[in-house]
Amino acid sequence: MNRKIFCCNSLEEHVCSNVSIRYIPKFREFGIVIDDGGSAMQVISFCPWCGAKLPNSLRDKWFDIVFDDLGFDAPDSPGIPSEMHSDEWWITANDQ
């Protein structure tokens, strides 16, 4: 499977720099950081530099698995499998 997440070098460079673009691996989600002192961001669906469609967010799927399938009642519950805290859960699922 092709695991390329970044559509262009500009997006990858800006995510890895001080520009306020964030990538959250466990949700496969890109966003523009809202500079209010918190962790809020505006999710984006297209690259601001090249216009390419970004992968769909897996946030809803993550919560479905953690709450419905695994039976946890909070996203920070102790005992959530370690692979759910990274991109490992969706990469593994797509490799099968």
pLDDT tens-digit profile of 4-36?
777 777 777 766 666 688 899 999 999 988 877
Q: Where are the domains of the chain?
A: 9-95
3-state secondary structure of 23: strand
Separation CA 92–CA 78 (nearest Å) = 22
Q: How far is CA 33 from CA 27, 38, 85, in A?
A: 15, 9, 20
> Does residue 1 surpass a pLDDT of 50?
no
Q: Phi and psi for 80 in degrees, rounded to 5?
A: -60, 130
Distance CA 96, CA 78 (A): 27
Quick one: average pLDDT of 82-92? 94
Structural Rg of the chain based on CA atoms: 15
Summary mean pLDDT of the chain: 87
- Quick one: pLDDT at residue 34? 80
Q: Percentage of the chain surpassing pLDDT 70?
A: 89
> 21-24 and 29-33: which strand pairing?
antiparallel
pLDDT at 63 over 90: yes
